[in-house]
Amino acid sequence: MKHWVRNAVFLIFWLAATGLVIGSLVKIRPLTDTKAFKESQFTDSELRQVVDRVDEAFASAWKTNGVEPVGGATDLAIARRLSLALTGTIPSLEEIRAIESHSGEQRVQWWLSHLLEDRRYSDYLAERFARVVVGVEDGPFIVYRRHRLVSWLSDQFAHNRPYDELVRDLIASEGIWTTKPEVNFITVTIDQNNKEEGPDEQKLAARVSRAFLGLRIDCVQCHNDFLGGKWKQENFHQLAAFFNRAEMSMTGVRDNAAKEYEYRYLGKPEKQLVTPKVPFNEALLPEEGPLRTRLAAWVTHPDNRPFARAIVNRISALLFNRPLHAPVDQISLDGPFPPGMEILADDLIAHKFDIQRLIRILVATRVFQLDSRTADPGHPTTSAQEAQFASFPLTRLRPEQVGGSILQSAKLKTIDANSHVFVRIMRFFQQNDFLKRYGDMGEDEFAAGGGTIPQRLVMMNGNLVHERTKQDLVMNSATRIGAVAPDDRTAIETAYLTTLTRRPSTEEQIYFVARFKSDPKVKRSELMEDLFWTLLNSTEFSWNH
């Protein structure tokens, strides 16, 4: 091929690529597929009354404790925290443009509607919920398929299936773990080295009490509470007895009505027969039916308030990255309860355990839309404000949120189910590799801990940040923005939006514009690589705010 022909081909290719990049920068995605959003429904008096009552409960608590709430957060800050909480990643530049194209007081609810219709929401919620009910271990491979359970959970959340129905399926499930994915809640407890023993009734009782009731009854598994608590060893094992009849058969998990549960209590010379019995609200337990079916009905009964409180606390923790009541699985039966918890539980029960409605109400509250800092940098938020939710809780991002956000920041368009299969496959493997190096929080969903030196090194020197910030016109937004932005100010602003979901302050803009102009010999693409690396390694990027 002649030299001029090669140059012409290259020029045509470059112009086409540049045109696509410019289009992705300036094109605003209308997101017309948001079906659930109707502005009138969020001014509905019935829903608004619930939001107002929750707001009043927090306002009363702030007054009682002598704290003043900070001001409200910007719409983009709220959009960022919502995206992180519900999809595990920051909004794309494409989504930011769409958000800003939508005006009106209900912009946040419009954005929430979009997220709730996005499969990333149900997939992410399913993974977070699976950590609560089956943990993160692979389990006994022959009789356990974690990915099948997570996929099933995702389908339930995508269709907004009533939460009580979902939980009943998990507790009372029967059949083959491959064709009845909910059965994996039972089979995960089987001992890998002794499958003949069948499901572990004690592990199942512990999961039910913590995950679905917000109670640590398993703390008395081996002995009575020595600190004056109400729980006795027999309370736990009477709960475990409901699962004793579950066993493996040729048709999967089935209940054997002939099996009895025996246990030797601490201080007793021999085992004794344990009768299935719930630890409280006995009148709510059905008198007839298979044991696990009866237990499932009791756990999810509308009058069994610990069930509603537990999911209110977990959904709140998902949104705030900190539960209203901590620890998340140790809520007192008798209170006192955090502000708003009983109001939210009442509404959840009244509306058939509608999880998406619960999320909408929480997002509409003043407490969720508060800023994470004061307007005066000289007077940062106090520990009292943080403890009372008088400012949005400032917490470190979870490892998968950090990895997901790095990958999304490298793309101008949203990485979702509509992305090219190559992009999705690459994202899967790159994020998994990042998590292996960065670390995974495991089942300890809301553990408060500082970042580690290895984590900082992974961010500063690791492969993912390097690969997603280096000069690459096709794969990385840093290079693409630097190549087509009309001026330095636009390039810097777009970099901030893409990584931190905000525009630079005046001081930041002045500083980086000066840096970009300080050495005319350095290409803008190189400067953008440095800027992206700096923003991704900033403290702000790795925190929820």
pLDDT tens, 72-93? 999 999 999 999 999 999 999 9
Q: Is residue 127 situated within a structural domain? A: no
Q: Report how many domains make up the chain.
A: 3
pLDDT of the residue at 231: 83
Q: Is residue 8 situated within a structural domain? A: no
pLDDT of the residue at 75: 95
Reduced to 3 states, what is the DSSP secondary structure of residue 319? helix
Same domain, 154 and 194: yes
Q: Is residue 129 situated within a structural domain? A: no
pLDDT of the residue at 21: 47
Q: Which of 352, 303, 307 is nearest to 160 (CA)?
A: 352
CB 466 within 8 A of CB 483: no
Where a domain ends, among 349, 373, 392?
A: 392
Q: Which of 358, 408, 422 is nearest to 541 (CA)?
A: 408
Task: Kindly indicate the confidence band of residue 46, based on its pLDDT and cuts at 50, 70 and 90.
Answer: confident
Q: Is residue 398 situated within a structural domain? A: yes
Q: Is residue 18 situated within a structural domain? A: no
Same domain, 240 and 182: yes
Same domain, 388 and 398: no
Task: Kindly indicate the confidence band of residue 15, based on its pLDDT and cuts at 50, 70 and 90.
Answer: very low
Residues 1, 520: Cα–Cα separation, whole Å: 35
Of 35-44, 151-160, 244-253, 360-369, the range with the lowest mean pLDDT is 35-44
Q: Which of 181, 121, 111, 109 is nearest to 150 (CA)?
A: 181
pLDDT of the residue at 41: 66
Same domain, 383 and 398: no
Task: Kindly indicate the confidence band of residue 9, based on its pLDDT and cuts at 50, 70 and 90.
Answer: very low
Q: Contacts for 193-198 with beta carbons within 8 Å, 24 or more apart?
A: 195/140, 195/142, 195/143, 195/248, 196/248, 198/246, 198/247, 198/248
Reduced to 3 states, what is the DSSP secondary structure of residue 502? coil
Q: Is residue 352 situated within a structural domain? A: yes
Residues 463, 313: Cα–Cα separation, whole Å: 37
Task: Kindly indicate the confidence band of residue 268, based on its pLDDT and cuts at 50, 70 and 90.
Answer: confident
Tens digits of per-residue pLDDT, 143-168? 999 999 999 999 999 999 999 999 99
**For the whole model, what pTM was predicted?**
0.90
Same domain, 313 and 401: no
- Asked whether the predicted pLDDT for residue 106 surpasses 90, the reply is no
Same domain, 218 and 318: no
**3-class DSSP string for 447-503:** CCCCCCHHHHHHHHHCHHHHHHHCCCCCCCHHHHHHHHCCCHHHHHHHHHHHHHCCC
Same domain, 148 and 260: yes
User: In this prediction, what percent of the chain has a pLDDT beyond 90?
Assistant: 64
**Mean pLDDT of the 462-478 span:** 86
pLDDT of the residue at 227: 52
Which residue type, as a one-letter code, is found at position 50? V
Q: Which of 129, 276, 97, 326 is nearest to 212 (CA)?
A: 129
Where a domain ends, among 281, 299, 317?
A: 299
Same domain, 358 and 503: no
Which are the contacts of 379, defined by CB distance < 8 A and separation ≥ 6?
A: none
Where a domain ends, among 392, 424, 448?
A: 392
Max mean pLDDT among 210-219, 271-280, 344-353 falls in: 344-353
Same domain, 165 and 218: yes
Q: Give the residue numbers spanning the domain of 523.
A: 75-96+105-117+394-545
Residues 283, 51: Cα–Cα separation, whole Å: 32
pLDDT of the residue at 393: 93
Residue 251 DSSP one-character state: T
Residues 542, 261: Cα–Cα separation, whole Å: 49
Residue 336, preceding bond cis, omega within 30 degrees? Answer: yes
More confident residue, 470 or 57: 57
- Identify the bridge partners of residue 273 per DSSP, sorted by sequence position: 262
Same domain, 316 and 218: no
Q: Which of 193, 155, 30, 26 is nearest to 98 (CA)?
A: 30
Chain-wide mean pLDDT for the chain? 88
Q: Is residue 528 situated within a structural domain? A: yes
pLDDT of the residue at 40: 65
Which are the contacts of 119, defined by CB distance < 8 A and separation ≥ 6?
A: 154, 158, 416, 417
Using only the alpha carbons of the chain, give its radius of gyration.
Answer: 26
CB 69 within 8 A of CB 390: yes
Same domain, 520 and 504: yes
Q: Is residue 213 situated within a structural domain? A: yes
- Asked whether the predicted pLDDT for residue 43 surpasses 90, the reply is no
Task: Kindly indicate the confidence band of residue 31, based on its pLDDT and cuts at 50, 70 and 90.
Answer: low
Same domain, 404 and 543: yes
Q: Which two tokens stand for residue 111?
A: 């954005």
Q: Which two tokens stand for residue 14?
A: 């470059």
pLDDT of the residue at 308: 98
